[in-house]
Structure 1
Amino acid sequence: MLGIGTLAKKVFGTPNDRKIKATRPIVEKINALAADFRALSDEQLIEKSQEFKARLEKGETLDQLLPEAFANCREAAQRALGLWAHDTQLMGGIFLHEGNISEMKTGEGKTLVATFPAYLNGLTGRGVHVVTVNDYLAKRDAEWMSKVFAALGMSTGVVYPQQPEAEKRAAYACDITYATNNELGFDYLRDNMKSELNQMAQRDHYFAIVDEVDSILIDEARTPLIISGPAQDRSELYKSLDLVIPELSEEHFSIDEKTRNVTYTEAGNEFLENRLLELGLLQEGHSLYDPESATLVHHVNQGLRAHKLFTKDKDYIVRNGDVVLIDEFTGRMMAGRRLSDGLHQAIEAKEGVNIQPENVTLASVTFQNYFRLYDKLSGMTGTALTEADEFMEIYKLGVVEVPTNRPIARLDEDDAVYRTAREKYEAIVEEIKKAHLKGQPVLVGTTSIEKSEMLSQMLQQVGLPHNVLNARQHEQEAQIVADAGKLGAVTIATNMAGRGTDIKLGGNVEFKIMEAIAADPEGNPDHIREKIENDHKADEEAVKAAGGLFVLATERHESRRIDNQLRGRSGRQGDPGRSSFFLSLEDDLMRIFGSERLDKVLSSLGMKEGEAIVHPWVNKSLERAQAKVEGRNFDIRKQLLKFDDVMNDQRKVIFSQRREIMEAQDLSEIVQDMRYQVIEDLVEEYMPPKTYADQWNTTGLKAAIAETLSLDLPVVEWADEEGVDNDDVEERIQNAADDLMAQKLASFGPEAMRQIEKQILLQTIDTKWREHLLTLEHLRSVVGFRGYAQRDPLNEYKTEAFQLFEGLLDSLRTEVSKTLSRIQPLNEEQQQLLIRQLEAQRAQMDQAAAVPEAEEAPTPLNPDFDENNPESWGNPGRNDACPCGSGKKFKHCHGAL
């Protein structure tokens, strides 16, 4: 008997079916226009683009233009690349334009699909960003698809790391810009550290099409992009705190060796508070629980960790006056590696060596918050449905499964579960041998580089030729993937997401032609192409006869999406193929999720050595286990986002304020408002409203006005006058401050004064924002402990972050007013010098922004080391120090896949 849900789907179709059905009339319209656009000349295709732009200006919408624009783009792609878009590709393009994720299987031509919505939305002139996962794909796709856009009269740009500023601005000024997610995020941060509008690269965040959207918006979403620079010298603070820590007794703290964590007890907090007050590190009337104390609490915690968790000659050594960390696994020194968040400085203070400045965050943003800046966002991938809830909740993106152009002919086998990893790998080698003998190409998926190397050795022992996919060089990678479909090829790969190159049966014909032309430059390219295309047809048929590409996975990933990506490499465009997952009870996922019960079942079944259990129930229970892990990871990302949203709201306010300041020609009104607010706050503090004259602290007010506004005013005498109240005093101070600024304006001249006001405002905002980011980081690291006091850490963080932000705005107003009031009238030469100094300081910040590394670039251990040439890396062991000098093990650095 059918359930109600199943019955409803049978009658009405699934929501996905209904979305597909709704696009069919639009696709039919585009197809009906094909003949009209085929009749146009190349010039007329470009004229059509101008006509569309004119119609947009007159009030037509993009949706009304869609059928004609898509038909124009389809014709241009046919002429420029010889590619005719299928109906399913047009559907994918429609869903992207509507702001959805188009889930399209591998080999369905996603790169071409992106050109349709990019062209349509590019007609607005606001710029469209096409986002890829690596620089190689950004350059390749931009070069390839620029031919289509050029045929439509549209400009194409590409953004890449270390690009000259002028070239980068030109790329962003294009109608369509290809870039990686990293570069877009860093450029956004860099732009908001610039001091002139014309130095900013990005124009607008209008529409982004994200390729491999699940990889960028989910897998990488937890990693913030950080631009850092050297922090102010805090060595005296570390030294002072270091005097306090040895005075603590055992009742003052507790150590948890299992988690390597150390915390203060209530008695410890009380003792610390008293000692810090005595030393003047904590202000009178303040406690360690105040928001303003977050940074101090953070450093006190780091001091305790340095003393109680880090032991000299075990965790680190002191060498030539430096604290050098020791790798706990190999016992080797990790030169150049430093602990973050002030911990390394705390150890340096403990050992009495020279304290080196820590790096501080100048600007940061997460991908989640960067991509939510766009007015419209869309994405493409082969696997998104499993994460549909997260896409909707965080990005308001719907997921639509676009049907394949041809039915999928791949055979997906049930998982085979073995008792031990040894039995599993022996069975895998046998299975690869069988497929290889009949000429069937095999793609073997592993979850780590160690496992791929182990399997590679096993295949070498039985004499099976194979390739191991190396993720260190994208160009090499593309070549290996292109060869993976050749007759009898065996390829071991660790992560197949976002390779950007299809595995074509018989091998990639374009790669073969390029190789042949390069090998024989004197030969006739047309003859070479014809011969290779004929040979390739025979190879392709032979591979199809052998069963197509066989995807053999050696383990289940904790995310179903990654498994589906690997499986989807086989059976592209209706090709034959098969996929199979080989598992063992010793695999991580099986071990964590109830393999004991399964082990008992397998034992009771009396399974022999080398036998496997294969049943759909096993698949179902594994899917449930994966769904649990995915749900947990989603909750972690959601929680992180809630914390980051607090900072993101403040970031938007600061960045928009900076932009307004840069756009403004005259900032005198803003500066005056700030000055008036400072005066109002001071008068309110020293002459509180609704109080008697004898309760006023006019002497204190006089001193504060002198300190903040450089004015010596008879405040005490004014207050003694008959009938004078706080409003009168406030007005007189305002007038005196206005007179002082009028004198400065006359001395400097209007133009120089406007420039100085702008530079001082920007510089003060940047300094205060940097300090604020650091305080928020420290608050984040300590606020979790509030949970022990039955208080919600997120609410505490929101409240205190807001108080800190209000404090930032107050101190910003005071600092700007103070700096401007102290500027002395200068002669012309001194004025120019001052402006140059201010600009130099700004340029220094811009320079810091140009290097988006969270730490200093390491010094390579080998002087001939070249990032892009693995041959220059020598032959380090998996656990040796990486030759790049980062201090990490090779397997966690350049040896990682």
Structure 2
Amino acid sequence: LIGGMVLHDGKIAEMATGEGKTLVATLPVYLNGLTREGVHLVTVNDYLARRDSEWIGPLLQFLFLTVDCIDKYQPHTERRRRAYNCDVTYGTNNEFGFDYLRDNMVKSAEEMVQRKHHFAIVDEVDSVLIDDARTPLIISGPVEASEEEQEYIQLKPKIEKLISVQRQLATKYLSDARSLIEQGNTSVEEGGGGMALLRCYRALPKNRPLIKYLSEEGIKVLLQKTENHYMQEQSRRMPIVDAPLYFTIEEKTRQVELTDMGAEFLAKGESDADFFILPDITASMQEIEANAIMTEEEKEEAKVILSSEYSIKSRRLHAVSQLLKAYTLFELNEEYVVIEGQVKIVDEQTGRMMEGRRYSDGLHQALEAKENVKIGEITQTYATVTLQNYFRMYHKLSGMTGTAETEAGEFWEIYKLDVVVIPTNKPIVRDDREDLVYKTASEKFNAVIDEIENLRNQGRPVLVGTTTVDVSEKLSRMLRMKNIPHNVLNAKQHQREAEIVAEAGHPGRVTIATNMAGRGTDIKLTPEVRQAGGLAIIATERHDSRRVDRQLRGRAGRQGDPGSSQFFVSLEDNLMRLFNSERIARLMDRMGHKEGEVIQHSMVSKSIERAQKKVEENNFGVRKRLLEYDDVMNIQREAIYKKRQNSLKGERLSVDIYNMFNSLAENIVHSHKTSKDYEAFRMEAFSVFGIDTQIDQAFFTEAGENSIYEKFRAEIEEHYQGKTTKIQRILMPVIKNVLENEGHRYKRIAVPFTDGRDKPYPVSANLEEAVNSKGKTIKMDIEKTVSLAIVDQAWKEHLRAMDELKDSVQAASFEQKDPLVVYKIEAYDLFERLIYRINEEMGSYLMKSKLMIDGKELQEARAVTTDMTRTKTSREDQAAKAAAESVSQQARQETVKRVQPKVGRNDLCPCGSGKKYKHCHGQ
């Protein structure tokens, strides 16, 4: 009841594992479901969405509420729309977000599936609103084949050679460091052991021999001391350290930078010595401007060549940077796996594969090149939203999880959500032990195997938590060598997840799970297991986030059951290497720690917790920054989607169109009246609106700007009304004929329109509505189709421009400017240009549009129509055919046929699925 009250109040309820979160949700769901405005219950995966809707559905249906789950149905289907129209709708976070994006890409209001965003309860709210928040939802489609794909393939051999020489260099520096330090030379200056050690670390921080050496007494402390020395005064002296390296790796920030040595090495064999060096564009532009010999035309040409060279080299360096990252920072079976010739991302939080997700900025293509699999096509964003901004649209939002308290600050700052910890029904008796810290990873893994064997002999089930697929498979191999039966649950075996977790509570059962896999599935214990001491949790590494560790611990000790949890940590673990391990190393040195010994002390556990807090703060900063960038995008998205909704539903569409005509007319009159150029005014009136204006030169010269505008505006309106009336007059007999003869079979007719320049837009008109309104709905259908097509195309191009802008503004930090501020200013300018472009194109198209009735156009229409009948539902095509036959019987010049470009069997399907036509609608 307490949990239900908290959720109804729009807060986050933190409830321990096994306290019945699924059942608690029924209370606010029922109460808010009574409003009939729709309650969305959001889960992390489709298994939980289906399971919960099937468990809870009968209870809510008994109380006269309708319940459904969107994940059971295909997107854009009547059944999914019906699921959204239920009082209570279950589904996954991604599907709710993608449906919102898809709804803003549809061509008719009937295709939309979502209602208003009234109330959402998010299950495992920390996973959805925090872990998934760093990755925006993107609907994308293919772009024309670019040179980028080839770039990765061509650069791959060079990068592999570069990494090979850097590895040799790192080995040399490590060898130098060892011998110098043994001789007592720990100097941080050139020729000292400290300098050699730091160079080895910045060359390849994940180098195994280096990691092992850093666990020796005093070595980690020396590295830290040397690094601090060179990082003073904003790393002013760091270039001295980096000079002999080919590239440098900042592991904490996950950045790789090519040095001058590296650029020279890569340019060997190229005709241009500066093949991998960006030109100084500002200085070069000034040189061109200052050149007294060159003519203005030559200067312009030189600037174009310079700009082109900069763009090509910038793209090449970007590919180099991404390939270096792929080879040095991303490990197979840790950050990603290769399955069936595809690179698939592994979710670092859950250990599950993230189907359909790809790294952005060409990093995914770099990983594909590295693993010798087919490089995926470069895609263009059609629509995007972050989960943060999607869930902030809800009138009321609440959530539940077992672990939210550590992130309470972020929940409040971003979502204005309070976290309330709900007390457990029975006290938790789980024994949470202090961490066991070892110097090396091999010592730690041996200790883990011994502990598993010991617990198994006691008849207790063991759940072993790992952070990567690689570690889970390594432990599995070690257990097999000892003939210990076990189950492995990781990104490669997620299909058997529920089955494996359900068995994990049996006596002596050993289960290895990557991170939080198994969330939402309870491990139930048998009476013998309770007697033996309950489920034992063994964690092989501390995660970056305390929340993930708490989640793993929470698998044991549910509902007052006995249990224990123990973390095994080594100084070679990622978290320990990157944050704070020098303090523990110093502590171990002081205590006279010997090889193979273990430390278990509250001071060590606190030190590890401090390191985790550092990482959490860093990750929060990343998410907050992402949100600040997306907030700019969000304002623009809402404005465009509102404009789109007006077009889609026909609300205010005519008013918007006349306002658009007026705005364009005002701009044309103002610009040419100011310059007093009558001829330019006449030409622009013709090129934009397709009218030969009746305003003569005398009136244009003598009258005021306002008088000219009023006369011009009246002329535009008269022309537009005349055009739409003529179209109605031509089409109405045809539509009546089709309705009378074929009305029992067809509801709509497809009518192709063109402005004579751009591609034709087929307008779909409702036969019955057109006849009943005496042709008025035809005008609205034309306006709707044209406005949607132009808004969608312009928005796609704007998204690409915004992506490019986000990349380019990062350089502003070198000029001591905040990239976000620059981004906001530039984004505003881009958006103003977008709105003007949409208005101009829409106004121009509508004023110039005509039925495709010329002889040439008629021939094209006949040729194309034959092959296009398979791309849409046969109903609409047959109606178009019937309409065409009817028109030809009436009058040749009034022929109306449907026109679209021919689609080949191997072309991409026009439906936007991304599949080939023969595998999609061409079957």
State the TM-score, normalizing by the size of structure 1.
Answer: 0.69
With over 3 angstroms needed to count, the CA separation of the structure-2 counterparts of 1:280 and 1:663, relative to structure 1, is farther
8 Å CA contact 1:229–1:848 kept in 2: the answer is: no
Matches within 5 A, 1:389-468: 389-468=409-488
Report the alpha carbon displacement of residue 633 of structure 1 after superposing the two structures with TM.
0.8
- 2:712 aligned partner, one-letter code: I
Q: 1:139 to 1:306 in 2, by over 3 A?
A: closer
Corresponding residue for residue 50 of structure 1: none
Give the corresponding residue for 2:106: 194
Q: Would you say the 8 A contact 1:747–1:825 is kept in 2?
A: no
Displacement, 1:279? 13
Q: Is the 8 A contact 1:411 1:579 kept in 2?
A: yes
Once the two structures are TM-superposed, the CA of residue 836 in structure 1 deviates from its matched residue by: 5.3
Alignment-derived partner of residue 116 in structure 2: 204
1:799-851, Cα deviation, whole Å (9 max, x unpaired): 1111111111111111011101111367785899879559999xxxx987864
Determine the structure 1 residue equivalent to 2:670.
684
Distance 1:479 1:729 in 2: 77
* Aligned counterpart, 1:528: none
* Paired residue secondary structure (1:504): coil
CA distance in 1, matches of 2:682, 2:778: 30
Structure 1 Cα separation of the partners of residues 538 and 917 of structure 2: 39
Name the structure 2 match of 1:748.
Answer: 727
Query: Which of 680, 683, 701 matches 1:703?
Result: 683
Match of 1:219 in 2: 131
Measured in 2, the distance between the counterparts of 1:195 and 1:790 equals: 46
For the structure 1 residues 630 and 114, does the alpha-carbon distance in structure 2 shift closer, same or farther, using more than 3 Å as the test? same
Read off the aligned partner of 1:758 and give its amino acid letter: K
**Paired residues of 1:427 and 1:610 also in contact (CA < 8 A):** no
What's the secondary structure of 1:804's corresponding residue?
helix
Matching residue within 608, 612, 616 for 1:622 = 608
The aligned runs of 1:654-665 (5 Å cut-off) are 654-664=640-650
Instruction: State the distance in 2 between where 1:720 and 1:226 align.
Output: 50
What is residue 368 of structure 1 aligned with on the other side?
A: 388
User: 3-state DSSP class of the match of 1:668?
Assistant: helix
Opposite residue 719 of structure 2, the aligned amino acid is L
Q: Which residue of 2 aligns with 1:562?
A: 548
Instruction: Report the AA paired with residue 482 of structure 1.
Output: A
The change in CA–CA distance for 1:363 and 1:834 in structure 2 (over 3 A counts) is: farther
SS of residue matched to 1:264: coil
Residue 142 in structure 1 maps to residue 121 in structure 2: no
Percent of paired sites with the same residue: 45
Deviations 1:724-769 (A, max 9, x none): 1222222221121112112112112232221101111111111111
Deviation at 1:272, TM superposition (A): 11
563-572 or 593-602: bigger deviation: 593-602
| Residue 823 of structure 2, aligned match among 765, 777, 797 | 797
Deviation, 1:597, is 3.8
Partner SS state of residue 614, structure 1: coil
> Which residue identity is paired with 1:484?
A
Matches within 5 A, 1:492-641: 492-496=512-516, 499-506=519-526, 540=527, 542-641=528-627
Deviations 1:568-625 (Å, cap 9, x if unpaired)? 0000000011111111121111222233342343234233443211111111111111
Indicate the larger mover: 546-555 or 710-719: 710-719
Counterpart of 2:134 in 1: which secondary structure?
Answer: coil
Which amino acid letter does the alignment assign opposite residue 731 of structure 1? E
Which residue in 2 is equivalent to 1:7? none
Give the 3 Å change call, closer, same or farther, for CA 102–858 of structure 1 in structure 2. farther
1:478·1:499 contact (CA, 8 Å) conserved in 2?
no
Q: Distance in 2 between matches of 1:332 and 1:492?
A: 21
Distance in 2 (CA, whole Å) between partners of 1:107 and 1:370 is 29
Unaligned runs of 5+ in 2: 152-242, 249-255, 259-275, 328-335, 345-357, 367-374, 729-775, 854-882, 888-892
In structure 2, what is the equivalent of residue 305 of structure 1? Answer: 317
Aligned to 1:167, the other structure's residue is in SS state helix
Q: Which amino acid aligns with 1:95?
A: V
| Contact residue 39 and residue 119 of structure 2 kept, 8 A | yes
Name 2:697's counterpart in structure 1: 717
1:266 aligns with 2:292: no
After superposition, residues 757-768 of structure 1 pair within 5 angstroms as 757-768=783-794
Distance 1:390 1:837, change over 3 A: farther
Distance 1:590 1:651, change over 3 A: same
Q: Match for 2:79: what amino acid?
A: E
Is the aligned partner of 1:171 residue 2:150? no
1:788 is the counterpart of 2:794 = no
Shift of 1:792: 1.6
Q: CA deviation at 1:668?
A: 2.5
Structure 1 residues 463 and 121: alpha-carbon distance in aligned structure 2, compared to 1, 3 A threshold: same
The 8 Å contact of residues 279 and 310 in structure 2, kept in 1 or not, is answered as no
Q: Does 1:735 align with 2:714?
A: yes
Does the C-alpha gap of structure 1 residues 339 and 682 become closer, same or farther in structure 2, counting only changes over 3 Å? same
- 1:698 shift after superposition: 1.4
* Cα deviation digits, residues 291-326 of structure 1 (max 9, x gap): xx9xx8995454443798799xx99xxxxxxxxxxx
Deviation at 1:257, TM superposition (A): 3.8
| Matching residue within 835, 846, 849 for 1:823 | 849
- What CA distance in whole angstroms lies between the structure 2 residues aligned with 1:642 and 1:752? 43
Q: Distance in 2 between matches of 1:192 and 1:452?
A: 42
The SS at the match of 1:433 is helix
1:258-303 Cα deviation digits (max 9, x unpaired): 335566343576359969x9999999999999xxx9xx89954544
Give SS of 2:437's match: strand
SS at match of 2:519: coil
Equivalenced residue count is 681
The answer to whether the 8 Å contact 1:128/1:208 transfers is yes
Q: Could you tell me which residue of structure 1 aligns to residue 838 of structure 2? A: 812
Give the 5 Å matches for 1:30-41: none
User: What does the per-residue CA deviation read over 1:124-148, in whole Å, with 9 as the maximum and x for residues that have no partner?
Assistant: 1111111111111111111111011
- 5 Å matches for 1:820-859? 820-824=846-850, 851=913
Change (3 A) 1:700 1:761: same
Write the letter of the residue equivalent to 1:445.
G
SS in structure 2 at match of 1:430: helix
